[in-house]
Every structure is written in structure tokens, then in C-alpha cells.
Structure 1
Amino acid sequence: MKFKPKILFIWGGILMFALWGCKTPQIATKTENKFVPESYLDSLSAQGGLSSTNWREYFSDRHLIALIDTALANNQELNILMQEIEISRNEIRTRKGEYLPFVHIGAGTATDKVGHYTRFGALEEQLEIKPGKAFPEPFSDLWLGASASWEVDIWKRLRNAKKSALNRYLASVEGRNFMVTNLIAEIADAYYELLALDNLLEIINQNRDIQSSALRVVRQQKDAARLTQLAVNRFEAQLLNTQNLQYELKQRIVETENRINFLTARFPSKVARNAADFMNIQVEAIETGLPAELLTNRPDIKQAEFELAATKLDVEVARANFYPSLGISSGVGFQAFNPKFLINPESLFYNLAGDLMAPLLNRNAIKAAYYSANAQQLQAIYHYEQTILNAYVDVLNQVSKLANFSKSYETKNREVELLKQSIGIANNLFNSARADYAEVLLTQREALEAKIELVEIKSKQLNAKVNIYRALGGGWQLN
């Protein structure tokens, strides 16, 4: 068979444009940096981290454990996130179904009556179903059959889309783990804050009693003409100032209790706790493990890693849009104008078709999608690197915070003990007229402030313990 030059030219042009259409634009590329230092600091322990620690052991208070258990079962935000995970799981099913053949089965009927004085009417008048049997009028059409369509995944576009959905599902699971870690930490932090407020209120009440006793002594001495009304007023003003401190503390206690109740998804109620042991809670040195363990222990890092893997696949999906797509469609069934002829070998119909389509002109939308997918991939890389850096710095900050506040607690505790002794000494000297009342007032105020600061330092020390749990990834694996 001989081809004319014109036909060869046309086919050559079509082939050239098709090849040109498959060319993809150049994009910027970047490889993620997973580097972390070999250790945190020389002074930090490099034993196993919190990933192998059960949070029930890490937070050993039975009241706190009960609150965390309630929150993990009822917290609305966590339950909302669980539905997001279910949505991600269904997205995998959707993507998986896209690269499998679509098969439909159905039946139908139709009735058609054309005008007599029309082209089709005149044509039908000449037709016969059988010799001597006219074409039926009106014409009924019955059919029963199946049809199938399939996009052949030549460039793995659909499979990559499914893998991308899978990675996003895994990212959502890690997001749930990250939220569990944060929820446990948030409840623990609020619980310790509540214990601290209880202790502050107890200190206020104790100092109120001490100052009330001192005020009675001053009034007696004033009645005996040993002191003036000025001394009475100064002692009474200090007592009123101390009493006034309790109201703000009581309000903070109410708000902290309500915050805990909200996290546990229950209406406001009394939060069971043992405030008496607050100052005796031991905060020991935490084993941090190696920085490289953060890559597997921290859910937010793993979540960012899965998101990055998904965006890489999204780029491949967008790139495949530049290439030709192959579609296959087919159908088989029975069709007749009368039910008695429907299931009949002569009523059988079938069809099979294939098409190969490639983008040729006006590819702006495909290019835009490709560039956007690449930009999102670069964003994911930077976010992943940022998450690793943030995790490393977070551990350093919290371990340093725990060490410094532990030393601060020891120092402040010695100061409190000295001031407790000073109160007794000042009162004895005052009662024996060897000290001015101003010295008693100053000593009482200094002792009160030191006790309050000691509780606040203890609270910060426990806050560092909670934050280390969060920074190292938490023991969310072991519920």
C-alpha cells in the first residue's frame, strides 16, 4: 500500500505534536534533610526515651490517671479526629476503585412514535420486521445488559493517587497519636496547676491565721499603751491584703477545674485530687534517648514524613496528566422491540472500543496543577525539616528547664525554712520589746512571698516534666 506525501505529512505532524504534548516542564527539586545531632548535650542521659514508658507509670497519680482515661474515651476533639481518620480510610477505597474496571448492569425500556411525514417516518414505513410484517408502530425498545469501562493505568497515575491517599491516611493516624500525646500532657499540666493552686490557697489561709494571731497581740499591746494605733493599722492592713489574695486563687481554681472537665467532655463538677502530696511529688532525671529516636517516637515528625511522601506522589500524579491516557469501554446484552424476542441469540449485541487521548493545546491547567503539586511538595519538605528541628530544640529546652527549676526549688526551699525560723524569732523579739513591729511585718511578708514562689517553682518543675513527656513523643503507644 502506497501512502501519499500529504498523508505522511499529516501523520508526522500528529506524531510530533503528540510527542511534544508528553514533554513536562522543568521544576525546582529539593531533597529533605533528616540530619539530627548524635546527642543532645554531654550532660543528658542517652538511655531509652519515653517511647518505651507507659504514661500510667510516668503520671502515677491515680486521680490523674482516671482523668486521662476519661478524656481518651470522651474528648470531642479526639472523636472528631477519629472521624477524619475514617474519611482518609474511605479515600483509599475511592482511589483504589479508580484503577479497577467499572462494571454496570441494567435494564431499560422505551417507546418511540415518529411523525408519518418525516424522514424517519417515511423510512420506517418501508421497513418490515419479516416479509409481510410491517415495522411496529409505536416502536418499543427493550434492553438488558452490562457495560464496562476501564482506564488503563499506563503511567501509574491512578496507583500513585491511591498510594498518596494511603500516606495521608497514615499521616492522619499519626495526627491522632500526636493529639493523644498533647491531650494527656494538657490534662496533666492542668491537674498539677490545680494542685498548685490548692497549695497556694492553703498557704494563704495559714498565713492569715498567723497574721490574725499577730494582730491580736498588737491590739493587746496597744491597749497596754506599749504601741500606737499605727502599728495596729499596719498589721490589720497586711492581714486584709493576705485575705484578698484568696479570691483570685479561688477563681483560678474554678477555671482550671472547668478546663479539666471540658477536656474530659463532662459538665462542671468537682475534680478529685490529693493536693496534700503536691510538694512531695518527686521529679527525677528523665532519660532522653538519642536524638535520632525522635524521628520514630514523635508522632508529629512521622505525620510530616507521611505528608511529604504523599506530596511526592502527588507530583507524579500531576506529571502523568501530560501523557496520553488509554481508555477501554465495552458492552454486552440483549435488545429487542418485543419481550418474547429479548432473550434470543439473534437479539444479542456487544461492543468494544478503545481511545488514546493526549493533551495537545491549552495545557495551562495541567501545568498549573503540576507546579502547584511541586510547590506543595517543597512546602512539605520545609515543614518536615522544621518539625525535626523544633523537636530537637524542644527537648533541649525542657530538659534544661527541669534541671534549672529542680536546683531553684532546692535553693528556694532552704530560703523558706530560714524565713519560717525568722518569723518565730521576730515574734519573740517583738514580744520582748527587742524588735520593732516593722521587722515582724517584713519577715511575715517575706515568708509568705517565699512560700508562694516555692509552690510556683514546683509547678514549673512539674510543667517541665509534662513537657518532656510531650517533647520526647510520649508513651502513646502503650495505653
Structure 2
Amino acid sequence: MNLAKLVALLGAAYGTVFLAGCNVGPKYVRPTNTAPPAFRGPDNTTVSSDSKASLGDEDWSHVYKEPELQDLIRKALEHNYDLRIAAQRILEQQAQVRIVRSQQFPAITVGGTGLGASLPDTLGTQFPNPLVAGSFSVSGSWTPDFWGLYRKQTEAARKQLLAQQWAQRAVRLTLVEQVATNYLQLRALDRELEITRETLKVRQDSVDLTRKLESGGSVPLSDVRQSEQLLYTAASQIPQLEEQIQQQENALSFLIGENPGPIVHQAANALAPPPQDLPIGIPSQLLERRPDIQQSEAQLMAANAQIGVARAQFFPSMTISGSAGIGGDGLSSIFSTAGKTIYGLGSLTQPIFEGGKLKGQLQLSQATKEEMVLNYQKTIAGAFRDTSNALIALNKQRANREQQEKLVSAAQDATRLARIRYQGGSTGYLEVLTTDSNLYTAELNLVNAQQNEALSLVQLYGALGGGWQP
């Protein structure tokens, strides 16, 4: 029998058994999930949309419009280590799919042997001199997937591959969010440093004034010391802010896959308030847009396929093998059909008793699926929570920033009036110290409010599943 006939025989057997076989695994059915009709907004209001248009469908470059931030995001998407690791995991799982799928097909091997020797005449043997012998053989074996064991294993591997693909998209979404967050925090630190330096200059002028008045006998030495306290308080904040800025630059450098170094951050409007009336779409869209939800469902489908793997192991396993070869005791007779050999072998095994192993494997796969169902539902619930929290933050942080702006305006006027009263001798320096400290704190709190409001847009964009689209 030649190689072509052997392959044809195995193929025919494969087709016959495959067509007669069955798949014992359960079909996947998506768990029922009831999406709310609208997102919960601030103060128990509902935020609904008449349109399916959503901020989450926008490309990140349309949401983050500062050129500096866009450049950082592009670099991160190209060089970030976590994203590159996620891409490698996809390649690894693709290889795993090929390995698992190979079990469904026959294995065919080709081999040969050869022997050559030159024997001395003194031995007086009857063997030809030189002695030459050899053989050539083709063999194949196949375990028909009658109960769908290998098909279910392949299905599970494919769903794990799908989960890895969605995991990469989730990493991409998180990366865009991290870069935007770190950049806005860096710009807030820049503004705090700017305010502190301006405050330091004003307080230095105040120290100069009190020293001049004290030398003229108009104010006590205690006023000088109090003004110096304000000066040194502001001065001590500068190295702390510079430390945070440089460390934040290092954090951004790491995200974009570069060594620690300076980052360009000079955009004037980085902390500008987000636009109002942003489109959010409808809650049910999150099930299709959020990559973490898609990843959880793919893991659930893989767990569902593993139940079929466990069930198939309760049934008989058939193995078919065959071999054909030719050989001879001389070069001229190695490929002679007179020296052909053919054999075939089939075996059938049925598990009888394995100490509860098979039943335990089935119970394990079923319990794992139920865990994945809960994980899937939890991920969906978390998506609705994230979106609601972001909508609340967007509204409340705007209100907080507006009140902080009013507070800064009032504190600036109070400080101005206190300095006028002090220079006119109508009040002591304690009033100047108090109003100046209040102003500095209010200005820093305003920056914090501006930062949180800007970050609420980042939070909402990520909660809606935006940022991973290529």
C-alpha cells in the first residue's frame, strides 16, 4: 500500500465516524441581563438619550484635543510595555489554538532504515559483500472525535483567544485613560507651582514692608516674624511640588515606554472645563462597547465549552492506526513490492472506574461556568456603576469648581483690604496673615477642583467604553 492509499483510507474512516458522531457539550446561551432604561445621574435623576450617539464611540483624538496630550497618547499606544505584552499574549493563544486543534486530525509519519557493512572474507559468511539492507515505511494514527472532545477543546481555546483580544483592547482603553489622567495631574501640579511662586513673591514684598515699618518703629518685631512665617511656608512648598512634578514626568515616561526624563507640558487650557450636554447613548450599548464586558463573556463561553470536554470523557475512545512499508536486503530490492508490509490496528477504550475523577472534572467545569456567569454579570453591573459615578462627578465637580472660583474671588478681595488696613495702621498683621493663608489655600483648592472636573471627562469617556478603538 502506498502513501496516497493510506491517507485515503484514514480520511474515509475519519469522515465516516465524524458524520456519525455527536457533540455532547451544551450550546452557549448568553445570560439574561436587564439593562436600566437610563443611567443614574446626580441627585437620583436619570440621564437618558433619544439618540444612540455616545461619547464612547468617539476616537480619543476627538475627546482629548490638546496636541501635547495627543502626542503622549500616540507614543504610549506604540511603545507601552503592557500593551505590547498583551499583543504577545494574543500570539501565544493563537499558537495554543493550533496545538489544540491538531488533535482532531490524523498523525502521519514517514521513516526509513538503512544498513551497510563490508565484511572480511575470512569470516566465510554467506552474506553478500558489501552487505546492504534497508526499509521505508509510512504510518498513521488517528483518534476519531466521536463525542466532540477535541472540538470542544478547540472551541474553548478559540474563546480564550477571543478573551485575549478583548483583554488587549481593555489594556488600550486603560492606557489612554492613564495617560490622560497623569497628564492632567501634571498640569495641575504646574498650576500649583505657579501659584506658589506668585504667592512667594507677594509674601517677600510683605516681609520687606514689615521690616521697613519695624525699623521705623511703626510695627512690632512680631509682625516681621509673622510675615516671615508666611514666606517660609510658601518657600517650603516649592521643592515638594517640584518633586511631584518630576516624579509625574517619570510616570508618564514609563507609560510611553521611555526612560525617565522631562515631558513637554505647557498647554494653557489643559484644565479647561469639559463641554456640557455630552452624548452618552443608552445603557444597553455598554454590553457591546466595553471591552471588559466582552472579555468576561468570552471567558464564559470558554468555560461553557469545557463542560463539553468533561462530558465527552465519559464515553468510549477509539484509536485507529496503520502502517505500510517496503524493504529488502540489497540496494536493488529495497523498493521492491515483494518486500511490502501492511498492518492496521484499532482499539476501543471505555472508562469504567476512575475513583470519581470524571465526575469531579464535570462538576468542576460546571462550577467554573457558574463563576464566569457571576463574573460576567458583575462586570456589567460595574460598567453601569462606573458610568453613573462619572455622570455624578461631572455635574458635582462643575458645581464645586464654580463655588471655588467665587471663594478665590472673595479671598483675594479680603486679602487686598487687609493689606490696605494694615498699611494704614487700622489692623494688626494677624489679619493679613489669616487672609493671606486663606487665599493661598483657596487658590490651591480651585486648582484641585479644576483638575477633578477635567478628570471627570476622562472617567466618563472610559466608563462608556471609549479609547480602545483603533
TM bin, normalised by shorter chain, reads 0.7 to 0.9
**Matched residues in 2 for 1:369 and 1:111: separation?**
54
Matches within 5 A, 1:13-52: 32-41=31-40, 42-46=45-49, 47=51, 48-52=53-57
Find the residue that maps to 1:382 and give its secondary structure.
helix
Structure 1 residues 78-125: Cα deviation after superposition (integer angstroms, max 9, x where no partner): 11111110011111111221101111112124699xxxxxxxxxxxxx
Residue of structure 1 aligned with 2:458, choices 452, 458, 466: 466
Find the residue that maps to 1:376 and give its secondary structure.
helix
**Matched residues in 2 for 1:261 and 1:435: separation?**
51
Structure 1 residues 352-401: Cα deviation after superposition (integer angstroms, max 9, x where no partner): 22222111122533233222222221221111111111111111111101
Q: CA contact under 8 A between 1:31 and 1:381: conserved in structure 2?
A: no
Residue identity in the other structure for 1:468: L
In structure 1, the partner of 2:66 is 61
Find the residue that maps to 1:106 and give its secondary structure.
strand
Shift of 1:276: 3.1
In structure 2, the partner of 1:421 is 413
Residue identity in the other structure for 1:59: Y
Q: CA contact under 8 A between 1:151 and 1:325: conserved in structure 2?
A: yes
Q: CA contact under 8 A between 1:199 and 1:275: conserved in structure 2?
A: no
Shift of 1:281: 4.8
Residue of structure 1 aligned with 2:93, choices 71, 88, 97: 88
In structure 2, the partner of 1:73 is 78
Q: CA contact under 8 A between 1:51 and 1:472: conserved in structure 2?
A: yes
Aligned length, in residue pairs: 432
> Is 1:440 aligned to 2:432, yes or no?
yes
Residue identity in the other structure for 1:34: N
In structure 1, the partner of 2:3 is none
**Matched residues in 2 for 1:409 and 1:375: separation?**
49
Q: CA contact under 8 A between 1:218 and 1:227: conserved in structure 2?
A: yes
Structure 1 residues 240-285: Cα deviation after superposition (integer angstroms, max 9, x where no partner): 0111111211111111100000111111221011253344354434
Residue of structure 2 aligned with 1:304, choices 296, 299, 302: 296
In structure 1, the partner of 2:272 is 280
- Structure 1 unaligned residues grouped into runs of 5+: 1-23, 113-132
Bigger shift: residues 73-82 or 174-183: 73-82
In structure 2, the partner of 1:116 is none
Q: CA contact under 8 A between 1:98 and 1:158: conserved in structure 2?
A: yes
Residue identity in the other structure for 1:39: A
Matches within 5 A, 1:448-463: 448-463=440-455
Residue identity in the other structure for 1:60: K
**Matched residues in 1 for 2:236 and 2:293: separation?**
47
Q: CA contact under 8 A between 2:166 and 2:292: conserved in structure 1?
A: yes
Q: CA contact under 8 A between 1:158 and 1:317: conserved in structure 2?
A: yes
**Matched residues in 2 for 1:54 and 1:276: separation?**
23
Find the residue that maps to 1:276 and give its secondary structure.
coil
In structure 2, the partner of 1:98 is 103
In structure 2, the partner of 1:161 is 153
**Matched residues in 2 for 1:382 and 1:453: separation?**
41
Matches within 5 A, 1:192-207: 192-207=184-199
In structure 2, the partner of 1:180 is 172
Residue of structure 2 aligned with 1:148, choices 129, 140, 144: 140
**Matched residues in 2 for 1:142 and 1:381: separation?**
60
In structure 2, the partner of 1:235 is 227
Structure 1 residues 126-181: Cα deviation after superposition (integer angstroms, max 9, x where no partner): xxxxxxx9799999762212111111111111111111111110100000000000
Q: Post-superposition, which runs of at least 4 consecutive aligned residues in structure 1 deviate over 6 A?
A: 133-140
**Matched residues in 1 for 2:315 and 2:219: separation?**
100
Shift of 1:402: 1.5
Structure 1 residues 17-48: Cα deviation after superposition (integer angstroms, max 9, x where no partner): xxxxxxx9xx9x99834222121135424242
Q: CA contact under 8 A between 1:49 and 1:289: conserved in structure 2?
A: yes
- With normalisation by structure 1, the TM-score equals 0.85
**Matched residues in 1 for 2:46 and 2:293: separation?**
25
- Structure 2 unaligned residues grouped into runs of 5+: 1-23, 118-124
Structure 1 residues 294-321: Cα deviation after superposition (integer angstroms, max 9, x where no partner): 1111100000000000010011011100
Structure 1 residues 313-353: Cα deviation after superposition (integer angstroms, max 9, x where no partner): 01101110000112211112212233321211211222222
Find the residue that maps to 1:476 and give its secondary structure.
coil
**Matched residues in 2 for 1:328 and 1:138: separation?**
40
**Matched residues in 1 for 2:398 and 2:199: separation?**
25
Find the residue that maps to 2:352 and give its secondary structure.
coil
**Matched residues in 2 for 1:94 and 1:245: separation?**
60
**Matched residues in 2 for 1:31 and 1:279: separation?**
42
Residue identity in the other structure for 2:301: A
Find the residue that maps to 2:332 and give its secondary structure.
helix
Residue identity in the other structure for 1:145: S
Structure 1 residues 208-236: Cα deviation after superposition (integer angstroms, max 9, x where no partner): 11111122221222122111001111111
In structure 2, the partner of 1:294 is 286
- With normalisation by structure 2, the TM-score equals 0.87
Find the residue that maps to 1:326 and give its secondary structure.
strand
Q: CA contact under 8 A between 1:50 and 1:475: conserved in structure 2?
A: no
Bigger radius of gyration:
1
Identity, % of aligned pairs?
A: 25
**Matched residues in 1 for 2:260 and 2:212: separation?**
47
Bigger shift: residues 135-144 or 97-106: 135-144
Q: CA contact under 8 A between 2:66 and 2:267: conserved in structure 1?
A: no
Q: CA contact under 8 A between 2:38 and 2:46: conserved in structure 1?
A: no
Find the residue that maps to 1:341 and give its secondary structure.
coil
Q: CA contact under 8 A between 2:321 and 2:344: conserved in structure 1?
A: yes
Find the residue that maps to 1:107 and give its secondary structure.
strand
Cα RMSD of the aligned pairs, angstroms, is: 2.4
Q: CA contact under 8 A between 2:109 and 2:138: conserved in structure 1?
A: yes
Find the residue that maps to 1:327 and give its secondary structure.
strand
Q: CA contact under 8 A between 2:68 and 2:267: conserved in structure 1?
A: no
Q: 1:335 to 1:34 in 2, by over 3 A?
A: farther
Find the residue that maps to 2:321 and give its secondary structure.
strand
**Matched residues in 2 for 1:366 and 1:274: separation?**
64
**Matched residues in 2 for 1:314 and 1:448: separation?**
62
In structure 2, the partner of 1:15 is none
